[in-house]
Structure 1
Amino acid sequence: MLFNTGGSPGGAPLVSQDTTLRGIMSETILALDGVSKTFNGKPAVRDVSFSVERGQITGFLGPNGAGKTTSLRMSLGILTPDRGTVSLFGGPPRPAALDRVGFLPEERGIYRKMKVIDVIVFFARLKGVAPAEARRRGLQMLEEFGLAEVAESKVKTLSKGMAQKVQIISTLVHEPEFIILDEPFSGLDPVNQNALEQVVRRQAEAGRTVLFSTHVMEHAERLCDKIVLIAKGRKAFDGTVAEALGQVPRRVTLEIVSDHDLSRVLAGKGEVHRETRGEHEVWIVDLGPGVDAQDILKACVDADVKLTRFEPVRAHLHDAFVHLVGREAAAPEAETV
């Protein structure tokens, strides 16, 4: 079963197209300013500051144990910072503000003995949706998510992936302005991970603001307007995906059949080193400032270097993360909170 991201058979959209959320000038929805949190003498978050603007998809990225979940819990007032301040919709995270938020926690938890539709209605009612409207929305979203036939089934009969979709519906059913998803792709197969990406995009297209945490950089690279990288409790980067990728040295991989020393041929064009990969020796060139791949190719041709491989390497967000924080900091720690 897949998410149906194209709407119901009758043409109803997955999310209501609330035009009041469109065309609004930039507004800070969430701001953390110098927040820190320690548990049993161990710092979990250290002087972290970042903001989320209305209408953005923001990725909060880092390995397991980096402090992402603790930061999100402080954002919602579940935890109180030891130092620093949190602003949600312009003030402290009070109940009135939280009614405008949809939160999917990392620790999934829906009532296994309840019927699926009853779970969704229950969560909608907690956010102030009238009973009849909650049931109407719940049934519509189950249809759109390909789960209409399990509406009257008990949660305990569902597969793990189906139960996670029910929890995602429960997060979105009250049509929140601000959606916070903590590791939302965990537990979904690749097809449904892709479908959830489409759900996130549709929420943003409807004018909603999305913040999601993940340790899988590929999702953020495809989805985000902005990313915040965190490692060992500290912020390592805050900006766009393009800006993060711009931090990574541009690289070319070469294989040759001649006996040239490319460190001499390419002197002054970047950092050159040789690696052995199986039976092959390859040369890696991290391009220097103002040097591009064509400059490397021209230098090799001019020196009569016989190339069997010339491959400019496209950087990915994982490369940027490792470059910004180092391999040791990028490695996951034991999860605490």
Structure 2
Amino acid sequence: MESVLTVQNLQKSFKDTQVLHDISFSVQKGEIMAILGPNGAGKSTTIRNIMGIMYPDEGEVIFHNHEGTTIPRHKVGYLPEERGLYKGVKVMDILLYFAELKDYPLDSAKERALTYLKKFDLEGKENVSVDELSKGMGQKVQFIGSIIHEPELLILDEPFSGLDPLSQDVFKREIRELAENGTAILLSSHQMNLVEEMCDRLFLINKGRRVIYGYMKDVKAEYANFKCMIYGENDVQTLEAIPEVTRVEQDGDTSVLYLEPSATLPDWLNNIPKDLDVQEISVDRISLHEIFVDVALGRSIAEKEGVLDA
């Protein structure tokens, strides 16, 4: 596939503190790529280096064949985590202003704005002042502003923050549609369930260093060990004694058993003690949320750094 954005060996320090250590990844045409990490991991610094808000001490940011100050910014869309729209300005005026900043034809921008306002359930709001909008409406307007100029690369920093479930669904549909039409999307979010649902690949960073990089399905297969939920009256010691169980979490009659990576599911299930109280049982892999928490807490997964066919 064609790489729209390539980040190579980024290094960045502030005074005596190095915040990025040899960061490298790519974003391909038509894919949704997640950049994840705990607060302070280096995500925002990476995004700001990509956007040219700051520049790395070492390494390169390449957009197609352009790098550094030659990157055509009018082909990049950006929705920052820190929201901000000019108060007292009409919705259509602010959207056309965003388009003008990107050298996009205003007639086409107005047509696209009206289409998106209708799609985002904001039809008839084009002449409403920005400060009259709800927080969710304002976020929709800013999202439209980030895509009004048909960017080839779209960077979304916490796009779902503060949105109700219905608005989240609207955003998800639009982000998927943009990717299907060829836009390369780099998405940062702390809502792991949405990331796991939407993204093709992920880059997980912690303390300025790569921890995991690869396709979502490969990450799940490699890092997401099986867990088994058993509903019944069982004591923790009995469950912990079952072979290949690494830890047990218990809440009342519900027990969650986390298995070793080497556990073979059919064999393990066959070896569950027959005297266990099993009213219900289910097995799946741990979620991306749990992988994220393991990394944030410095558990063993964080020591298993790798690249999975990325």
Normalised to the residue count of structure 1, the TM-score between the two structures is 0.80
* Alignment match, 1:103: 78
Task: Note the 1:156-195 alignment, pairs <5 A.
Answer: 156-195=131-170
* Alignment match, 1:289: 262
Shift of 1:263: 5.4
Shift of 1:284: 2.2
Cα 1:93–1:105 change in 2 (3 A) is: farther
Cα shift readout 1:131-177 (whole Å, capped 9, x = no counterpart): 32222222222122211221111111111111111111111111111
**RMSD of aligned C-alpha atoms?**
2.5
* Alignment match, 1:316: 287
- Percent identical among aligned pairs is 36
* Alignment match, 1:6: none
Q: How many residues align?
A: 298
**Which protein is bigger by CA-based radius of gyration?**
1
Shift of 1:307: 2.7
Q: 2:4 is aligned with what amino acid?
A: I
- Per mean C-alpha deviation after superposition, the further-off stretch among 45-54 and 86-95 is 86-95
SS in 2 for 1:310: strand
- Per mean C-alpha deviation after superposition, the further-off stretch among 55-64 and 133-142 is 133-142
> C-alpha separation between the residues in 2 aligned to 1:285 and 1:163?
43
- Per mean C-alpha deviation after superposition, the further-off stretch among 59-68 and 113-122 is 59-68
- Indicate yes or no: 2:229 matched with 1:253: yes
Cα 1:128–1:307 change in 2 (3 A) is: same
Cα shift readout 1:241-290 (whole Å, capped 9, x = no counterpart): 112212122122345658894555x44xx135555534x48472514525
Shift of 1:80: 0.6
> C-alpha separation between the residues in 1 aligned to 2:119 and 2:246?
53
> C-alpha separation between the residues in 2 aligned to 1:30 and 1:105?
18
SS in 2 for 1:49: strand
* Alignment match, 1:300: 272
Cα 1:162–1:282 change in 2 (3 A) is: closer
Shift of 1:306: 4.3
CA contact (8 A) 1:64 1:215 kept: no
Cα 1:93–1:141 change in 2 (3 A) is: farther
> C-alpha separation between the residues in 2 aligned to 1:258 and 1:159?
50
SS in 2 for 1:32: strand
> C-alpha separation between the residues in 2 aligned to 1:221 and 1:29?
22
Cα 1:306–1:126 change in 2 (3 A) is: closer
CA contact (8 A) 2:220 2:285 kept: no
SS in 1 for 2:174: helix
Q: Which runs of 4+ in 1 moved over 6 A?
A: none
* Alignment match, 1:204: 179
Normalised to the residue count of structure 2, the TM-score between the two structures is 0.87
Q: 1:277 is aligned with what amino acid?
A: D
Cα 1:305–1:35 change in 2 (3 A) is: same
SS in 2 for 1:300: coil
CA contact (8 A) 1:120 1:170 kept: yes
> C-alpha separation between the residues in 2 aligned to 1:65 and 1:42?
12
